[in-house]
Structures are given as C-alpha cells and as structure tokens.
Amino acid sequence: MQLNTIKPAAGAKHAKRRVGRGIGSGLGKTAGRGHKGQKSRAGGFHKVGFEGGQMPLQRRLPKRGFKSQNKPFVAEINLSDLQKLAGEEIDLLTLKAVGLVSELVKTVKVIQSGAISRKVTLKGVGATAGAKAAIEAAGGSVA
C-alpha cells in the first residue's frame, strides 16, 4: 500500500445534499424547509429547548436534589497497601500521614484487592466482607 493509492471504503463518501438548485433536484423552491414560519426563514432559529412560548420542559419539571458523582471525601485502599504499611494499628490519621489517602478524605474503606499476610488492626476504617475475612484470616481484626 502506498499513500497515493489510499481510497475510502466503498459507500463511505457521498455527495453533499445541494438544496435550492431547481425543481429537478427535488429540493428546489423551498429547499426542504416547508412553507412559512420561523424555521423556514434565514436566521430563523431559536434557543435550544424553546417550545414556541409554551413553558419549556426544563422549567415545567420540579427541581429535586443533587447527588454528586465525584466523591472526594471517600477513599478506597487495597489489602496490598495495608501489607506495605509499618505498624499494627491502622486508622484514618495513619493513612493520611503515610500519604495513602488525601487530607480531604473523611471515610476510608479497605477493598479485597491484593493479599495480606501480617496482623493488622483497623480502627475507624471500613472494610468489605472479603477484605474483612482476609484480614481476620491473617490474625488481624476490624474494629
């Protein structure tokens, strides 16, 4: 293959629709815009959501609560992260001091990812069922 022989796939390119080019084209006279009205005229478009003066949908519906998808105050750590930490007792302050979680984090949860073979005691740190079982199997506890 060479650069001067490259072609688009068959049917990938097609001629642009040319409107207002006479009666024979099928899109002459009104050029597919129909008759009269704001949308038929040049520059005759209105803002998104405009319903011709009727109360628009976004204003008809009641405003309800908001739940952020971005949760900066909750963090997850792996079992393998716990394995690397020095010390037996682990709490939120310890994790912040080591730099495993951000200073803004308010709650931490340990998830079952990786393995742990040493005894650790979690205080004020949550754990999933699988992570809790792994910690207890290694001789540790989740308080």
Q: Hey, what's the torsion of the CAs at 12, 16, 22, 24, to 10 degrees?
A: 0
Whole-angstrom distance, CA of residue 95 vs CA of residue 100: 5
What the chain holds in terms of domains, given with CATH numbers, is: 74-142 (3.100.10.10)
Place of tokens 């008759």: 35
One digit per residue, pLDDT tens: the chain, 143 residues? 899 999 999 999 999 999 999 999 999 999 999 999 888 999 988 889 999 899 999 999 999 888 777 767 889 999 999 988 888 899 999 999 999 998 888 999 999 998 999 999 999 999 999 999 999 999 999 98
